[in-house]
């Protein structure tokens, strides 16, 4: 209890820090298991205010799950207890939290499926975090296909010629190392300037966050978060295209940062002028700094990447196996890594030798799985997002023209990007298979007649592909 008290005293001393900084500190304190200990602190306040029967009844099997942003997340096993805690005790919990952090918290109770889903998402994010920790310059294999982008990223990380390289815009197809370079810049600048406020955000998260900030009246907090960055990194910026309001807000964010001489780095799967529905003024801004592309790796680079990855995994691969992979997987680095990971798993599980014939079998299986990441939901979601409508509009019965076009495009993309049959496609949209045939014909006709229409299809396809 003494340790706990000391811990809370430290926290109180830090009330002038922002919450996120406090939490960073909490995480760094090895002796304190932060979330559980905060919950213990809250419970001691509850114990002072409630009877022991109430505590046992409502909180004996309630546990703290996470503290993230200004949300304190709890788990309780029953729907009934959840409702009671929400209606009777959240105010008390909030006030205990305010006492600890000198800041307002939202208390979120999870139970059943929502708890499972939350934990799954959290695990995924932690996995991503671990991956991103490894995205450093040291782990990046440089070859002719990426040396320009690498040099530009390195120059930015070292603060060279800020004026000329701002913004840095790295573009290229999926799986070629753009996100890796972005994090490498982040790591390096963090090392050199530990006090910098570094903001990393994905284009679609920025959009979603902005929409929710507008809905909940938190525009100012949103602005403060993004406009006070010393270094601003936006991954997959193509996802901010489309929505006028997002682009408008983003334009001002960009200008504020740019005028304050803050370094900005973007990645995208396309060049600025190929991002349809991006306003001209943003295109111009994006093109005003340095554009650097990444290309699919050449043979030598593929060999080096495979060897590098194998060493990282403690896997010893013969030259002919490395050569076989490098000759057969040519499109991108993600594929190469996937192959080496698979081989490693196979090696660990089967304790068999790795030779060209086993590798060829492993790779065949990989190709079978390859297209499975594109699901009907992803296609419908991306099409809906593109036209700023909802997936329900696409799946629903409405015959309004924009919905019909979006629906037909979704059907067309399902047909071209997946192996579903016409009747299966019909089922996703609760339509029969002749409707699907007519939709496909209509889209093919439009594509032939109108190059702009074709560009829209290509644009949505790129958005879908960059989701893997
Ligand atoms: P993108 O953002 O371009 O889609 P990523 O940066 O996510 O691609 O790269 C996909 C995977 O390939 C990541 O695990 C990344 O570490 C790895 N990778 C890409 N390029 C390289 C490289 N040149 N050297 C080492 N690993 C790389
Ligand atoms: Mg990426």
CATH of 317-368 given 3.30.565.10, 1.10.10.10, 3.30.1330.10, 1.10.8.60: 1.10.8.60
Q: Which residues surround ligand 2, an ion (CB under 5 A)?
A: 178-179
Q: Answer yes or no: are the C-beta atoms of 11 and 22 closer than 8 Å.
A: yes
pLDDT at residue 436, as a whole number: 93
Overall average pLDDT of the 45-67 stretch: 94
∠ Cα 331 127 362 (to 5°) = 40
According to DSSP, residue 141 is labeled: P
| 321 alpha carbon – ligand 2 mean position (Å) | 28
Q: Three-state DSSP class for 436?
A: helix
Percent of the chain predicted with pLDDT > 90 = 66
pLDDT at residue 68, as a whole number: 83
Q: Which of 40, 114, 37, 39 is nearest to 78 (CA)?
A: 114
Ligand 1, residue 172: give the atom nearest the CA: 3
Q: Answer yes or no: are the C-beta atoms of 118 and 65 closer than 8 Å.
A: yes
Ligand 1, residue 173: give the atom nearest the CA: 3
Q: Answer yes or no: are the C-beta atoms of 407 and 430 closer than 8 Å.
A: no
C-alpha distances (whole Å) from 61 to each of 1, 37, 67, 81, 136 are: 21, 16, 18, 10, 42
Q: Which of 137, 130, 141 is nearest to 307 (CA)?
A: 141
Counting Cβ atoms within 10 Å, is residue 380 exposed (0-12), middle (13-18) or buried (19+)? buried
Is pTM beyond 0.85? Reply is no
347 lines ligand 1 (CB under 6 A): no
- Residue 137 tokens, joined: 């310059």
More confident residue, 12 or 458: 458
Task: Tell me phi and psi for residue 396, to 5 degrees.
Answer: -75, -175
CATH of 19-125 given 3.40.50.300, 3.30.200.20, 3.30.300.180, 3.30.565.10: 3.30.300.180
| 443 alpha carbon – ligand 2 mean position (Å) | 30
132 lines ligand 1 (CB under 6 A): no
Give the pLDDT confidence of 357-412 residue by residue, as tens digits.
999 988 887 776 655 678 899 999 999 999 989 999 999 999 999 999 999 999 99
Architecture of the domain whose range is 376-465: Orthogonal Bundle (1.10)
337 lines ligand 1 (CB under 6 A): yes
Q: Three-state DSSP class for 232?
A: strand
334 lines ligand 1 (CB under 6 A): yes
Pocket probe for ligand 1: among 146, 180, 295, 299, the residue whose CB has the most ligand atoms within 8 Å is 180
More confident residue, 419 or 142: 142
Give the chain's mean pLDDT: 88
Q: Specify the long-range contacts of residues 75-83, CB closer than 8 Å, at least 24 apart.
A: 75/109, 75/110, 75/111, 75/115, 76/109, 76/110, 76/111, 77/111, 78/111, 79/111, 79/112, 81/111, 82/109, 82/110, 82/111
Phi-psi region of 274 (alpha: psi -120 to 50; beta: other; left: phi over 0): alpha
Architecture of the domain whose range is 147-293: 3-Layer(aba) Sandwich (3.40)
pLDDT at residue 268, as a whole number: 96
pLDDT at residue 10, as a whole number: 47
- Token match 């005003």: residue? 288
In the structure, what pLDDT confidence band is assigned to residue 23 with cuts at 50, 70 and 90? very low
**Cα–Cα distance measured from residue 47 to residue 36, given in angstroms and rounded to the nearest whole number:** 16
176 lines ligand 1 (CB under 6 A): yes
**Cα–Cα distance measured from residue 311 to residue 337, given in angstroms and rounded to the nearest whole number:** 12
> Given a cut of 60, is residue 22 above it in pLDDT?
no
Give the pLDDT confidence of 120-158 residue by residue, as tens digits.
998 888 888 878 889 999 999 999 999 999 999 999 999
> Given a cut of 90, is residue 168 above it in pLDDT?
yes
Domain boundaries, the chain: 19-125, 147-293, 317-368, 376-465
pLDDT at residue 371, as a whole number: 54
C-alpha distances (whole Å) from 132 to each of 55, 135, 138, 181, 375 are: 41, 5, 13, 10, 26
68 lines ligand 1 (CB under 6 A): no
In the structure, what pLDDT confidence band is assigned to residue 69 with cuts at 50, 70 and 90? confident
> Given a cut of 80, is residue 161 above it in pLDDT?
no
Overall average pLDDT of the 199-226 stretch: 90
332 lines ligand 1 (CB under 6 A): no
Chain centroid to CA 196: 22
pLDDT at residue 223, as a whole number: 92
| 141 alpha carbon – ligand 1 mean position (Å) | 9
140 lines ligand 1 (CB under 6 A): yes
Give the pLDDT confidence of 253-304 residue by residue, as tens digits.
999 999 999 999 999 999 999 998 899 999 999 999 999 999 999 999 999 9
339 alpha carbon, closest ligand: 1
pLDDT at residue 375, as a whole number: 87
Sign of CA dihedral 136, 139, 141, 145: negative
In the structure, what pLDDT confidence band is assigned to residue 172 with cuts at 50, 70 and 90? very high
Pocket probe for ligand 1: among 152, 177, 204, the residue whose CB has the most ligand atoms within 8 Å is 177
127 alpha carbon, closest ligand: 1
**Cα–Cα distance measured from residue 176 to residue 249, given in angstroms and rounded to the nearest whole number:** 29
Q: Answer yes or no: are the C-beta atoms of 94 and 105 closer than 8 Å.
A: yes
170 lines ligand 1 (CB under 6 A): no
Q: Which of 224, 250, 221, 233 is nearest to 183 (CA)?
A: 233
**Cα–Cα distance measured from residue 165 to residue 290, given in angstroms and rounded to the nearest whole number:** 5
Q: Answer yes or no: are the C-beta atoms of 388 and 379 closer than 8 Å.
A: no
pLDDT at residue 395, as a whole number: 93
């Amino acid at each position: 209890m003494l340790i706990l008290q000391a811990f809370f005293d430290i926290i109180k001393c830090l009330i002038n820090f922002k919450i996120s900084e406090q939490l960073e500190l909490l995480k760094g304190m090895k002796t304190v298991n932060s979330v559980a200990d905060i919950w213990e602190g809250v419970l001691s306040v509850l114990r002072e205010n409630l009877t022991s029967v109430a505590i046992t009844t409502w909180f004996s099997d309630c546990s703290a799950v996470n503290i993230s942003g200004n949300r304190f997340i709890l788990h309780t096993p029953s729907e009934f207890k959840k409702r009671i805690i929400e209606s009777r005790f959240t105010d008390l919990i909030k006030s205990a939290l305010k006492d600890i952090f000198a800041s307002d918290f939202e208390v979120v109770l999870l139970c059943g499926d929502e708890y499972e889903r939350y934990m799954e998402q959290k695990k995924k994010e932690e996995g991503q975090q671990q991956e991103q920790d490894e995205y450093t310059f040291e782990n990046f294999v440089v070859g002719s296909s990426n040396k320009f982008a690498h040099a530009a990223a390195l120059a930015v990380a070292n603060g060279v010629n800020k004026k000329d390289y701002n913004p840095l815009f790295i573009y290229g197809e999926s799986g070629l190392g753009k996100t890796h370079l972005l994090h490498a810049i982040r790591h390096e600048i963090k090392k050199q300037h530990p006090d910098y406020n570094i903001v990393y955000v994905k284009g679609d998260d920025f959009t979603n966050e902005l929409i929710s900030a507008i809905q909940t009246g938190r525009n100012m907090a949103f602005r403060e978060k993004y406009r006070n960055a010393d270094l601003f990194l936006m991954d997959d910026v193509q996802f901010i295209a489309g929505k006028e309001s997002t682009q408008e807000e983003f334009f001002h964010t960009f200008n504020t940062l740019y005028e304050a001489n803050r370094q900005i780095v973007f990645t995208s799967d396309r060049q600025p002028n190929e991002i349809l529905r991006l306003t001209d003024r943003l295109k111009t801004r994006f093109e005003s700094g340095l554009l650097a592309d990444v290309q699919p790796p050449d043979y030598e680079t593929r060999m080096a990447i495979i060897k590098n990855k194998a060493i990282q995994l403690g896997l010893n691969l013969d030259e002919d196996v490395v050569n076989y992979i490098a000759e057969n997987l040519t499109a991108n680095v993600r594929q190469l890594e996937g192959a080496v990971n698979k081989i490693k798993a196979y090696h660990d599980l089967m304790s068999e030798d790795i030779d060209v014939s086993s590798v060829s079998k492993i790779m065949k299986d990989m190709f079978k799985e390859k297209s499975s990441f594109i699901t009907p939901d992803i296609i419908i979601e991306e099409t809906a997002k593109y036209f700023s409508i909802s997936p329900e509009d696409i799946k629903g019965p409405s015959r309004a023209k924009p919905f019909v076009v979006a629906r037909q495009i979704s059907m067309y993309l399902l047909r071209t990007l997946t192996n579903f049959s016409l009747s299966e496609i019909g089922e996703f949209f609760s339509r029969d298979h002749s409707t699907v045939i007519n939709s496909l014909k209509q889209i093919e006709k439009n594509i032939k007649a109108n190059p702009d229409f074709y560009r829209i299809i290509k644009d949505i396809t790129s958005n879908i592909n960059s989701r893997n």
